[in-house]
């Protein structure tokens, strides 16, 4: 996969294409859509977002319209403008192993529209953690690879197993890339209210950097770095440890122009 510039809009943060209103598409290498699951999901009850200087905690819980409705929208041309302007990455997940396969089956006829499929194995806001059972995960990686011909990316987190070991498995099963990392389970206390969710933003950077470093040392996979990339220096650091592209998430909420600034440096 060749992304010029090597900059990706992170899944979830970029919604279903909304940031195209704010960012010149020339500066976007690829736009990842919000994760789509087999069944529609309402997501978690509020509070869903806590923002501080150093981090954001979100408890969205994969709210999405479900794959059938997404396909309906796709067929009705809702994403044509997006496809015309940028390369698009389809992100998907399931509430169990079977559901991952069912989404892949449903989306296989449409795979040519996308530059890649990103399989989200690491959402911290749902009960199912595919990374905690690597035997099952391996079976699923093999089955998903059989069902899809597209450039296939596994989105990995650091909870479940050592990320470099999972990445090796991903490579052995014939996948093309990994997104490293996702948010990590965290807790914020606001008076008497406990807010559980996935943490993102600046505090994630050193953890993500180490994860990219480890994965690069053990695999030849295409690596999209994700976690705390807030400026050009952060992006540079991830390229230094072997990332092929950088993903911009939380930084979009602060200043969408970050994408243009990073792009101009790495075009
Ligand atoms: C509000 C919010 C929603 C997110 N939703 C998703 C999602 O649906 N699928 C996914 O793979 N990652 C999701 N993420 C994780 C981001 O794609 C990204 O990997 C993570 O936030 C770390 O990068 P950052 O520090 O640049 O934000 C979400 C993150 C946030 C903040």
pLDDT in tens, 24-47: 999 999 999 999 999 999 988 888
pLDDT band (50, 70, 90) for residue 123: confident
pLDDT (tens digit per residue) in 49-84? 999 999 999 999 899 999 999 999 999 999 999 999
- pLDDT higher than threshold 90 for residue 209: yes
Distance 166 CA to ligand 1 centre (A): 20
Can you tell me the mean pLDDT for 158-171?
97
**Tokens, residue 70:** 């997404």
Ligand 1 atom closest to Cα of residue 205: 25
Percentage of the residues of the chain whose pLDDT score is greater than 90 = 92
- pLDDT higher than threshold 90 for residue 125: no
pLDDT (tens digit per residue) in 170-196? 999 999 999 999 999 999 999 998 999
- pLDDT higher than threshold 90 for residue 244: yes
Distance 36 CA to ligand 1 centre (A): 13
Distance 183 CA to ligand 1 centre (A): 6
Ligand 1 atom closest to Cα of residue 11: 17
Q: What is the pLDDT of residue 127?
A: 81
- pLDDT higher than threshold 90 for residue 142: yes
Can you tell me the mean pLDDT for 206-216?
98
- Which of 8, 9, 12, 41 to mutate for ligand 1's pocket (most ligand atoms within 8 Å of CB)? 12
- pLDDT higher than threshold 90 for residue 3: yes
Q: What is the pLDDT of residue 30?
A: 98
Distance 9 CA to ligand 1 centre (A): 10
User: What does pLDDT average to over the chain?
Assistant: 96
Q: What is the pLDDT of residue 128?
A: 87
Ligand 1 atom closest to Cα of residue 248: 26
Ligand 1 atom closest to Cα of residue 122: 11
pLDDT band (50, 70, 90) for residue 257: very high
Which stretch of 1-5, 67-71, 150-154 has the lowest confidence by average pLDDT?
1-5
Give me the active site residues, please.
Answer: 123
Nearest alpha carbon, ligand 1 atom 14: 12
- pLDDT higher than threshold 90 for residue 124: no
Ligand 1 atom closest to Cα of residue 155: 11
- Which of 200, 238, 248 to mutate for ligand 1's pocket (most ligand atoms within 8 Å of CB)? 200
List, chain by chain if needed, residues with CB within 6 Å of any ligand 1 atom.
10-13, 34-35, 56, 58, 60, 62, 91, 120, 123, 155, 182-183, 200-201, 204, 226-229, 248-251
Distance 171 CA to ligand 1 centre (A): 23
Can you tell me the mean pLDDT for 218-244?
98
Can you tell me the mean pLDDT for 127-148?
94
């Amino acid at each position: 996969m060749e992304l010029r510039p090597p900059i990706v809009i992170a899944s979830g943060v970029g919604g279903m294409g909304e940031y195209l209103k704010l960012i010149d598409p020339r500066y976007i290498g690829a736009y990842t859509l919000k994760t789509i699951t087999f069944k529609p999901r309402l997501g978690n009850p509020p509070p869903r977002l806590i923002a501080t200087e150093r981090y954001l905690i979100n408890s969205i819980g994969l709210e999405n319209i479900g794959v059938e409705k997404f396909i309906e929208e796709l067929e009705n041309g809702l994403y044509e403008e997006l496809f015309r302007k940028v390369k698009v990455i389809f992100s998907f997940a399931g509430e169990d192993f079977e559901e991952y396969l069912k989404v892949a089956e449903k989306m296989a006829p449409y795979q040519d529209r996308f530059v890649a499929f990103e399989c989200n194995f690491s959402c911290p806001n749902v009960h199912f953690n595919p990374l905690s059972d690597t035997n099952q995960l391996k079976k699923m990686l093999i089955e998903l690879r059989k069902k899809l011909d597209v450039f296939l990316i596994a989105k990995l987190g650091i909870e479940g197993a050592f990320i470099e070991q999972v990445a090796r498995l991903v490579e052995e099963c014939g996948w093309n890339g990994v997104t490293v990392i996702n948010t990590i389970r965290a807790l914020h206390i606001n008076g008497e209210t406990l807010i559980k969710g996935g943490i993102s933003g600046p505090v994630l950077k050193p953890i993500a950097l180490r994860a990219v470093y480890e994965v690069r040392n053990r695999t030849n996979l295409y690596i999209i770095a994700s976690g705390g990339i807030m400026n050009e220096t952060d992006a540079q650091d991830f390229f230094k440890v072997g990332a092929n592209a950088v993903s911009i998430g939380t930084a979009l909420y602060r200043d969408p122009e970050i994408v243009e600034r990073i792009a101009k440096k790495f075009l």
